[in-house]
Amino acid sequence: MEGVWSFNGAFPRWCEASQGLYWADTLAPATQGELRSSWQFQERISAFCWDAKGESLFAVGPDSGTLFVMQAGASSVRRFASLPKGSGRLSGLALDDQGGVWTTLRDGWSLVRFSEDGGLDRTIGLPVPSPTDLAFAGPNKDMLYITSSRHDLTMETLGNAPASGRLFRIRPELTGLVARRTDWRG
């Protein structure tokens, strides 16, 4: 689809504060009224997530295996953490109340948590090769839900991972952040 409403790099995100789903298109051409930022990336970004204070924005760069962090009001982009390509492609993003940053590893059969300083803190193996996203949920935000894909998997891989395409739930003994409104004036 061409034009202003084409979704070249769009992804949906749930906003708890307004109880609604919104779309962000990271590759669309600039148009009047578009959300803009001074942050520049040399690769596509597949997920964003604000910290608890609404001061730092985390972003996933799946092609380089990098988690980026930006500060509200600043134009610099800093590498928060990275993983080698052989670990899987970063996909999805969630933050916990201890400052941990979680992401799934597509083609990596796992999800990982980085500590507040960017060090790899935890790796959790999954029974599927392509976990795609994750989110804390439940009344206490103490359950971590992980989506997975079965698209583009060979019959042999599906035979070894029959749960591909399903939703998983784990209790990581940490609580997720409650989504909040952020005054973003990039």
| Predicted pLDDT at 64 | 95
The DSSP output letter for 155 is: H
One-letter amino acid for residue 50 of the chain: W
| Predicted pLDDT at 131 | 97
Superfamily for domain range 44-170: TolB, C-terminal domain (2.120.10.30)
For residue 129, name the pLDDT band (cuts at 50, 70, 90): very high
pTM: 0.78
| Predicted pLDDT at 179 | 65
- For 99, residues 6+ apart whose C-beta sits below 8 A from its C-beta are 51, 115, 116
| Predicted pLDDT at 52 | 86
Q: What is the pLDDT of residues 102-120, one digit of tens each?
A: 999 999 999 999 999 999 9
**Domain residue spans of the chain:** 44-170
Mean pLDDT in residue range 65-83: 92
| Predicted pLDDT at 36 | 53
**92/150 Cα distance (integer angstroms):** 16
For residue 7, name the pLDDT band (cuts at 50, 70, 90): very low
Q: What is the pLDDT of residues 134-178, one digit of tens each?
A: 999 999 999 999 999 999 999 999 999 999 999 999 999 999 987
Cβ pair 150, 127 in contact under 8 A: no
**21/29 Cα distance (integer angstroms):** 22
- Asked if the model's pLDDT at residue 96 lies above 70, the reply is yes
**164/160 Cα distance (integer angstroms):** 9
One-letter amino acid for residue 178 of the chain: V
Strand order in the sheet with 131-137: 131-137, 143-148, 168-170
**31/8 Cα distance (integer angstroms):** 14
| Predicted pLDDT at 8 | 47
Residue 177 tokens, joined: 């952040």
Q: What is the pLDDT of residues 8-65, one digit of tens each?
A: 455 555 555 555 545 555 555 555 555 555 778 888 898 988 888 888 899 999 999 9
Query: Please, is 84 exposed, middle or buried when counting C-beta atoms within 10 Å of its C-beta (0-12, 13-18, 19+)?
Result: exposed
Cα 168 to the chain's mean position, in Å?
A: 16
